[in-house]
Amino acid sequence: MTTLSRGNLFDPTLVTDLVNKVTGKSSLARLSTQKAIPFNGEKEFTFTMDSEIDVVAENGKKTHGGISLAPRRIVPLKIEYGARVSDEFMYAAAEEKIAILKAFNDGFAKKVARGIDLMAFHGVNPRTAAPSTVIGNNNFDSAVTQKVPMAKGMANPNDAVETAIAMVGGADGDITGMAINPSFRSALSQQKDQQGNPMFPELSWGNAPATIKGLAVDVNKTVSDMTENGDRAIVGNFAESFKWGYAKNVPFEIIEFGDPDNSGFDLKGYNQVYLRSEMYLGWAILEPTHFAIITESAE
């Protein structure tokens, strides 16, 4: 069966399914614009027009408006996931192999979705939860300097959101979305208006709607997982100021020999085979000032 031959690529249909599942689970993928990127990376150019447009009279003189050009490079990073299964997989019927492959694809999609958030939000290696030197400062915690500290009780999360929105607006940024963690969602659901009514009734009973008061919102633990900064929410222009993508070729490999996961156990010795898939992902925060992060203060 060619689909499962060693060193083959995921079928294009499975790649599409994989990316669709990633988009459905990742806050960044949901709130931003996704597109395919080439293996060697690409540059996204951000133009800043220094002046306003100019009215020119007939035969009038045109003047220089001024422009700043800031390139941001999107370089794909390799990520991988592998798992040992019984070597009975090699002798299974074609239909059973396809079912196993689809199940692996589903699991890989969930890990990729969570992984891209953890990498781009916090700059960590998801496997170790430690800062990644490969990612460096290409993450929100490092690049975004506009922070809104909140007391641990989160008594007035709406004010924190309004402050964050004002910060982004002060930097001429638009607000297109907000990623929040579950505890911040809970705090918003408990906030009352001056009449004592819930300010956000759509959040009652654990609901997590796609929009709140017209703003695209995604609730995800990745906003606060694996961060030392106490992130609770990230507000900003996800649609235009953040880009991510994937390289189209997604290798899938069946390894029958050796110790590919460095566990110290030989595959043949334990009647196992190793399923491994790799993917190239890249992202760029084009305008860090078009985002603000609500954090939990130490008080």
Average pLDDT score over the chain = 85
In Å, how far from its chain's centre is CA 101? 24
> 48 or 88: whose pLDDT is higher?
88
Do residues 164 and 207 lie in contact, with contact meaning Cβ atoms separated by under 8 Å?
no
- DSSP labels, the chain: -GGGSTTPBPPHHHHHHHHHHHHHH-HHHHHSEEEE--TT-EEEEEEEE-S------TTPPP----EEEEEEEE--EEEEEEEEEEGGGGGS-HHHHHHHHHHHHHHHHHHHHHHHHHHHHH-EETTTTEEPTTTTT-SHHHH---EEEE-TT-S-HHHHHHHHHHHHHHTT----EEEE-HHHHHHHHH-B-TTSSBS-GGGGGG---SEETTEEEEE-GGGTTT-SS-EEEEEE-HHHHEEEEE-S--BEEEE-SS-TT-SS--TGGGTEEEEEEEEEEEEEES-GGGEEEEEE---
pLDDT of residue 5: 42
pLDDT of residue 90: 83
Across residues 148-154, what is the average pLDDT?
82
Across residues 66-78, what is the average pLDDT?
69
Top mean pLDDT of 48-62, 90-104, 272-286 is at 272-286
Q: Would the pLDDT of 6 be above 50?
A: no
Q: Which two tokens stand for residue 80?
A: 């991988």
pLDDT of residue 52: 64
Percent of the chain with pLDDT over 90: 47
Residue 56 binned pLDDT confidence (cut-offs 50, 70, 90): low
Across residues 287-294, what is the average pLDDT?
96
pTM attached to this predicted model: 0.83
Q: Would the pLDDT of 223 be above 50?
A: yes
pLDDT of residue 181: 96
Q: Which two tokens stand for residue 231?
A: 């992130």
Q: Would the pLDDT of 1 be above 50?
A: no
Angle between helices 12-25 and 94-122 (to 10 degrees): 40
Query: For residue 278, what are the contacts with CB-CB under 8 A and spacing of at least 6?
Result: 78, 79, 80, 250, 251
Q: Would the pLDDT of 46 be above 60?
A: no
Residue 210 binned pLDDT confidence (cut-offs 50, 70, 90): very high
pLDDT of residue 175: 97
> 62 or 198: whose pLDDT is higher?
198
pLDDT digits (tens, 9 = 90+) for 82-102: 888 888 888 887 777 778 888
pLDDT of residue 67: 54
Q: Which two tokens stand for residue 166?
A: 């004002």
Do residues 31 and 223 lie in contact, with contact meaning Cβ atoms separated by under 8 Å?
no
Across residues 213-226, what is the average pLDDT?
96
Q: Would the pLDDT of 184 be above 90?
A: yes
pLDDT of residue 44: 61
Q: Would the pLDDT of 280 be above 80?
A: yes
Domains of the chain by range and CATH? 2-48+68-296 (3.30.2320.10)
Top mean pLDDT of 128-137, 242-251, 278-287 is at 128-137
> 16 or 162: whose pLDDT is higher?
162
